A and B are shown apart, each in its own frame.
Chain A
């Protein structure tokens, strides 16, 4: 219930948002989350009675790109209000107060709402002295306090997830899960994160009281479970062997495959082609540039050089699958690919303490790409993103059922596009 005593739909009606528009929004959320359409009502009911949890958004070694991205959140009328159903009490980029008045908002939440508020972390966190201080306190100190006492922490963007490009610099800034090991962290990688996914995660959380199903990197499967290549509107050109050879050539104008320009779509997962950006307007491949794999683990090292084509491809066309392409890529990417070849698997929830609520049994069903049926037991053992990222040789996927099935059905994926 909202503070005014109104339900959210009533509150929305007052602001000119119809019940129907609200339900549409809930439908979009259900679709983004890959939930069956029937969950629309459940989401609507839950949001109508939600009790405004406090949200603390902290920025550390960041560029504020993830903050800006949330400002571009789609479905503005309703999403904004859904966000208003949170008490968005701290966010350096846009909050009213400065200095001591600002810091009090963060410390109050930690003190009075321990284990009850939501934390969002943007930017990497350095462990060396003096590299990042706010209010005279170190980022590490603040991160431990804010993420360590939150009910759940969303790490938005590559830097907060695994250190992003900051980890490669002299300060070696790290992701929040590495410097606050006890925190319940959900990683929303990407450079920046796509606000459609982050809003969907918040909606899911407000609806079901827990986080959606996560992968081995603690990323929500609905957003990070599928290869970009498999969802790409240019995939048919890849299968037909039609490629852009130079910027502005005929193939580029006609929307041919960008693989030869260095596209990392075959080795990266994200729902970028599906939800697109800026209220579904476009995404980099549609606009004409190759994917740089910005939602992949440690993408600044695993995906650069960004204009070099993925090597060792045994010929172009329908006989080449995303999996064989991916295997040729080094280290982290190859290991990641193996995971995908083996099918989507689901691992533990974040942290502890949220086991009381049952997930919808088929919560992930809608997100299953074609042909990924392999059971989780066949997956390679992976201890942590760090160890996986440094795997020198990719586990083989020879004979993996997922590989075969997907290669047979890959060409039909375009049917899933809007």
Chain B
């Protein structure tokens, strides 16, 4: 038995550590630890609930916007504000483009190097690569000259021995299996994707002022100026600009991203039976055509799949969600074995790990800054795979067709989804589905504006005087990495308690009071390890979840309502 550690796990957001026991060339037990804590959200307590989203958005800059959306929804739920249809459409456009953008960055810049050997690409024959690329799709960047230029770009780096960001990779590892030409195509698309993501996210700049951290959300709607005829608003010209970006998105998804995912999936078929893990999946659902409360209109339905039974979608009741801290660096006032619903959540940091610098964590005790969320006491995986499985089981036509067609291309059965590559495929498929909705949302927005409906916010609920004295609310949002929920309690317009349960907290959770390992920890068991000093295979499964650790160590807790931050500017 060998014990290995990966710290830091890079190509993720945040600071993640994996410890694992390897025996007979396979992982037999694994521990996932979040090694950074900010507790930033303790300070939202006493803040004007209308600005909670500005603070909460800073939980994460990779999944930027998602906490802003969950936050305004939670406050709106509490005070009974109803964003008008235009605001829902702008939110869908921001959230949908963020999801697609994030998935592409994940595949190319955070995950691809687990499958693609950059150094091997240097040996490729550009003419052969061109031939292969043209057989895969109609993407125009596929000439011999184009691939020659990519090699020309990499060669000076390699020749200098200074590979920059690529310097520390596991090149030449026996687990890499793509041909030099396939590697070259993927590296070329890695570079193209860098440019693509800079361009398409300008959708957020138009609708939100900037990205990362767009800045036009408001409780009750949006602050985006909309007027087709105003030079100082999102006008006809800006709508055309958005339409062009959506078209760019479509081209890249259809001609580059999906074909590349299929290329990787075809080359690594055994990874459709590795990395499954927990058999329970949860999703809040979302991306509807109406208000957030209209769950019937959701593109991705709400529900639970239990024990991989795709014949039944179980209903989801947010009241059954709890968080545990028995193996985390926190304590609960009522005892660390307790399981608390977010409305009663507590966050008392209590580091009991080893004094740094350390070699190993105390994995038999507390070992992570993540709590352990559970549904009805059970471990749940959230994310694109959960959304796909629930939608597939519920018979959502867009998802069913897309999943079936992909499985057919790969010659695989639905069970293949329950794997490392299943997560990768689910992410690509939902990118295509959400991308194809963006244009419709934009059309609808333009129609509304044309018909004279320029409403963008529920202004009747802006002033605190229109709010109940005390209120609490829940804000769900399906984000790239899974199901995100914010829970808020408000007293006299100010936040008295705030909790978030975040996708990576579900997926990267440590063991709970019953000793049940979290989804990463379960998925890693059985993963092959060819070379324990270069554990590339573990990274494949961990990255397939798209970890986001800043999100995961959320601690959105404002339990001490008595304290108020002294403010120096008078509230309106």
Query: Which positions in A face B, CB cutoff 8 Å?
Result: 2-4, 6, 11, 14-16, 52, 54, 59-69, 71-74, 76-77, 80, 84, 86-89, 91-105, 124, 128-139, 141, 164-166, 168-171, 173, 191-192, 233-234, 246-249, 252-255, 261-262, 276-279, 281-290, 292, 300-301, 304-311, 329-331
For B567, give the chain A residue with the smallest CB separation. A305
The CA-CA distance from A368 to B109 in the complex, in Å, is 40
Whether B39 contacts A171 by the Cβ 8 Å rule is yes
CB-CB nearest 5 A-B residue pairs? A65-B61, A255-B232, A97-B168, A3-B160, A96-B169
Encode B1-33 as 1/0 by CB contact (under 8 A) with A. Answer: 000011111111111000000000000000000
**Residues in B neighbouring A86, C-beta threshold 8 A:** 164
Given A98-B11, A287-B216: 8 more A-B contacts, CB < 8 Å: A15-B149, A68-B211, A98-B10, A139-B36, A247-B218, A247-B462, A285-B209, A292-B215
Q: Is B166 an interface residue (CB 8 A)?
A: yes
Give the Cβ gap from A18 to chain B, nearest Cβ, in Å: 14
Interface majority SS (helix, strand, loop, mixed), chain B: loop
The CA-CA distance from A77 to B54 in the complex, in Å, is 32
Query: Which positions in B face A, CB cutoff 8 Å?
Result: 5-15, 35-43, 47-48, 50-51, 54-55, 58-62, 64, 105, 109-110, 113, 118, 149, 152-153, 155-157, 159-160, 162-170, 194-195, 197-199, 201-202, 204-218, 220-227, 230-234, 329, 349, 351, 353, 355-359, 454-457, 459, 462, 533-535, 539, 550, 565, 567-572
**Residues in B neighbouring A247, C-beta threshold 8 A:** 218, 220-223, 456-457, 459, 462
What are 9 A-B contacts with C-beta separation under 8 Å?
A16-B149, A63-B58, A68-B64, A73-B198, A89-B167, A94-B165, A252-B223, A277-B209, A311-B570
Give the Cβ gap from A270 to chain B, nearest Cβ, in Å: 12
**Residues in B neighbouring A15, C-beta threshold 8 A:** 149, 152-153
Give the Cβ gap from A258 to chain B, nearest Cβ, in Å: 9
The CA-CA distance from A410 to B49 in the complex, in Å, is 35
**Residues in B neighbouring A139, C-beta threshold 8 A:** 36
**Known A4-B156, A306-B54; contact A101-B42, beta-carbon cutoff 8 A:** no
For B360, give the chain A residue with the smallest CB separation. A136
Interface-centre pick from B54, B149, B194, B533 (highest chain A CB count, 10 A): B54
Find A283's partner among B58, B210, B234 (CB 8 Å cutoff): B210
Whether A64 contacts B61 by the Cβ 8 Å rule is yes
Give the Cβ gap from B156 to chain A, nearest Cβ, in Å: 4
Whether B166 contacts A96 by the Cβ 8 Å rule is yes
Whether B209 contacts A283 by the Cβ 8 Å rule is yes
Interface-centre pick from A63, A100, A246, A308 (highest chain B CB count, 10 A): A63
For A79, give the chain B residue with the smallest CB separation. B198
Whether A165 contacts B37 by the Cβ 8 Å rule is no
**Residues in A neighbouring B233, C-beta threshold 8 A:** 253-255, 288
Interface-centre pick from B8, B165, B195, B204 (highest chain A CB count, 10 A): B165
**Residues in B neighbouring A131, C-beta threshold 8 A:** 36-38, 349, 351
The CA-CA distance from A124 to B36 in the complex, in Å, is 11
For A5, give the chain B residue with the smallest CB separation. B156
Give the Cβ gap from B436 to chain A, nearest Cβ, in Å: 24
The CA-CA distance from A103 to B9 in the complex, in Å, is 11
**Known A76-B195, A99-B8, A102-B8; contact A168-B40, beta-carbon cutoff 8 A:** yes
Whether B226 contacts A253 by the Cβ 8 Å rule is yes
Find B157's partner among A3, A101, A132 (CB 8 Å cutoff): A3
Find B198's partner among A72, A164, A169, A300 (CB 8 Å cutoff): A72
Whether A129 contacts B156 by the Cβ 8 Å rule is no
Whether B550 contacts A248 by the Cβ 8 Å rule is no
The CA-CA distance from A283 to B215 in the complex, in Å, is 9
Whether A169 contacts B62 by the Cβ 8 Å rule is no
Find B7's partner among A2, A134, A286 (CB 8 Å cutoff): A134
Whether B160 contacts A52 by the Cβ 8 Å rule is yes
